[in-house]
Structure 1
Amino acid sequence: MRRYRMILLPALLLGGQVAAAGQTVLVDRVVALVNDEVITLSEIQKEGKPFIQRIREELGEDTRARQMQITQRQILDALILRRLQLQEAKKEKVVVEQSEVTAAVEQIKKENGLTTSAQFTEALARENLTPEEFRTRVWEQLAVDRLITRKVRTSVVVSDEEVARYSQTRAGGSQQPPSVRIRHILIGIPEEPSSEDVARARTRAAEASERIRGGEDFGRVAAEYSDGAAASEGGHVGIIRQGDMDSALETVAFSLKPGGVSDIIQTAGGFHIIKVEERMAGDTPSAEAREQIRQRVFLEKLRQRLDAYLAELKQKAYIQVRFDQ
């Protein structure tokens, strides 16, 4: 039954390795208020009994007291979070039928190889649970799952653009981004140009653009007008990958079809004219790989939304911890 306990205490198990031991406290007391409900010390001890028993056998006396306190506080935090979610599920009128609980219990029994009632009861006893308590836990988990689906999961959408961006930037670095083969005319201006410098460069760029629009060869015009390093080669820059150009030039370059010539583009460095000679789409992941990436991005976004939602529940709730008193 360890598998289901891991589901019931995610906050505890995600917090790191559990290490605790110590003597059982027999006197019960309230250790936390969560809105109008209380959490008692006996609940912490019952929830953490398997972990405490395990560590009692592994730790020396010099570390037990401190580790007991740390572990109990981790369990308390998990209980507070579960209580908040159950309270919210009640407000949202989340419904879980007993037939759903029964089906879930049967599935858990099947997954754990518990074919008889005696095996099931014995396994629960090792977890310090009765069958009735376990059904309550299953009901709670189903209610929380339904709440999270309603309030968080349904709001998480992964676009094709997010899949492509993840593929290019994080999928092992092997994906090649789209690229273009271009020719480029630059009419440069000084670093600190006067208004006359700018006007003169703009006029020269307009002349070059007009000649290209009139049907003259782009390379010939580039060789005559361009101040760029590739002017002697007819403005042939070669293949430029997406992400390697000035953003203003890139936006235009990747919007043009092969053979297309841009309007005049002004940047801090001067005036530009671009001709796209060829476009290359880059590597495209297979349908299976894209679906795996989409699921990965979905889970990342779901975790972020879930963390934000749980933080919101805590912020608007009244929580008083008396654990250290």
Structure 2
Amino acid sequence: AVSSCRSLQRIVCSGEALPVDAQQQVFAKLPHAGLYNLYGPTEAAIDVTHWTCVDEGRDTVPIGRPIANLGCYLLDDNFEPVPVGVLGELYLGGAGLARGYHRRPALTAERFIAHPFVHGERLYRTGDLARYREDGVIEYAGRIDHQVKLRGLRIELGEIEARLLEHEQVREAAVLAVDGKYLVGYLVLHHAHGDWREVLGAHLAEHLPDYMVPAQWVLLEQMPLSPNGKLDRKALPKADAGQPSSVYEAPQSELEQQIAAIWAQVLEVERVGLNDNFFELGGHSLLVINVISRMQLELGLRPSPQDIFQHPDVRRLAAHLEGQGGAVTQDKLSRLDALFDDMGPF
């Protein structure tokens, strides 16, 4: 058995983020071997940080702290240090830095910058996102070149993926922006329990702005990999928006009909059924805000974004709002009409 291989003393991982699953497999099958996670690029003599792996019960494996004569700096866009827990770009300094790229002065000037805190020294900007834990340990969070703009808003895909990986149901995660309009989350789950879409959407909504919650989800048995074993984002299957996932069933109550009418207008679809999923019809986080605004204006109701993420079809959202005493009454609508009458013409 693998566990009887007592001659193996150390396992050193580098060059790619170490998944927590792989760490746990080593702990289970090779309990006598030490597992070490190293981080660093070629431009900084390969390895810069070191971490002795232990079972902390967390969902990620940190990259640790800098080794001797090297330094790490997590900086924002203004080259200022970021607070604990906040993502920043990882810059490296110290004795291990390369002089630059051979016969590529422009690239050298872009990647090797003047040290903002130590005169006469340089830092290498890695293009990686990371954050400090409260104990000073560094957690890797993905590549900054996975940063995209969605309807004018900057989205850090690595941050979304890192938050997804924190959830106990998620084994692997990837997020893509489609046509600059909406986000799609690709997942490999340990177990796809019940309404996992709503659960994960609500989990992200607790930690991230609404516009960073994927509008659609694609469940995979495994992530597509390139020949060198890394995630092949170009091979991820296309997600089709605008297609309802259920047989059309007409809304019945007055509130259901009102919600369906607003969704149809916002989503620019012909009709919305009782069980149609808002996000599978092409909805996304910015349209959630639009829906809330319309519901407040037209119905006198103001559900939270989390209400819609947790109740993404007309039937469940209407039942949730009615359960909160939010059913629309003629008296409420009359008061709203009177309010607009008092305001006069726009």
Instruction: Give the TM-score of the pair, scaled to structure 2.
Output: 0.20
Which is richer in strand?
A: 2
Quick one: higher RCO (CA 8 Å, sep 6+), 1 or 2?
1
Higher helix share: 1
TM-score if structure 1 supplies the norm length? 0.21
